Amino acid sequence: MYLLDTTALSELIKRHPHPGFMLRLHQQPARTLFTSTICVMELRYGASLRADHQTFWRRIEQEILAHVEMIEFGEREAWIAGDVLAHLKRTGKPVGLEDVLIGATARAYGYTVVTRNVKHFQGLPEVKVEDWLSTT
Residue 122's pLDDT band (boundaries 50, 70, 90)? confident
Residue 84's pLDDT band (boundaries 50, 70, 90)? very high
> Vertex 124, ends 33 and 63: CA angle to 5°?
25
Q: What is the pTM of this model?
A: 0.93
Q: Is residue 42 part of a domain?
A: yes
Predicted confidence at residue 34, as pLDDT, reads 98
Q: Is residue 55 part of a domain?
A: yes
Q: Is residue 74 part of a domain?
A: yes
Can you give the residue range of the structural domain that contains 100?
Answer: 2-130
**49 burial level (CB within 10 Å; 0-12, 13-18, 19+):** exposed
Q: Compute the average pLDDT of residues 100-122.
A: 95
Q: Is residue 107 part of a domain?
A: yes
Q: Is residue 136 part of a domain?
A: no
Q: Can you tell me the distance from the alpha carbon of 36 to that of 41, in angstroms, rounded to the nearest whole number?
A: 9
Structurally, the chain folds into a number of domains equal to 1
CB 3 within 8 A of CB 104: no
Q: Is residue 28 part of a domain?
A: yes
CB 10 within 8 A of CB 133: no
Predicted confidence at residue 135, as pLDDT, reads 57
Q: What is the pLDDT of residues 15-47, one digit of tens each?
A: 999 999 999 999 999 999 999 999 999 999 999
Positive or negative torsion for Cα 104, 109, 114, 118: positive
User: Is the predicted pLDDT of residue 88 greater than 90, yes or no?
Assistant: yes
Q: Is residue 75 part of a domain?
A: yes
Q: Compute the average pLDDT of residues 38-64.
A: 96
CATH of the domain at 77: 3.40.50.1010
Q: Is residue 38 part of a domain?
A: yes
Coil/strand/helix, residue 125: coil
